[in-house]
Amino acid sequence: VFIEDPEDEWIEKLNEELGGDQMHKHIDMVLHRFPAPMKSIYDLAVNQRFSVQEISKIKGISVEEVESYLVRTRKHLLTSFKGRYP
């Protein structure tokens, strides 16, 4: 979700500095507070590697809605990282 976006080298640098374990702990904690659909769609996309089209079928929502959830989740996670690691 993060590394594929070339605009945010900051996240890659943070990943190098913190290590994946620390980043995953933060992501787990933040996701824990997210609404259930956001958590679920993030999990399907990132952890279980389903495509947007597959998630759309699984969830019974449009591809655009899935993409919207992922964009919002990414945005909120980035915001949380910027607050946590200024």
Partner 1 sequence: FLDDIEKFSNTEWIQMQEDYSVD
Nearer to partner 1 among residue 13 and residue 33 (C-beta): 33
* Minimum distance of partner 1 from residue 61's CB (angstroms): 19
Q: Of the listed pieces 1-9, 11-19, 26-34, 58-66, which binds partner 1 according to CB under 8 A? A: 26-34
Nearer to partner 1 among residue 50 and residue 73 (C-beta): 73
Burial class (CB in 10 A: 0-12, 13-18, 19+), 38: middle
Quick check: 2 binds partner 1 (CB under 8 A)?
A: no
The phi and psi torsions of 15 (rounded to 5 degrees) equal: -60, -40
CA-based nearest residue to 61, from 81, 38, 79, 32: 38
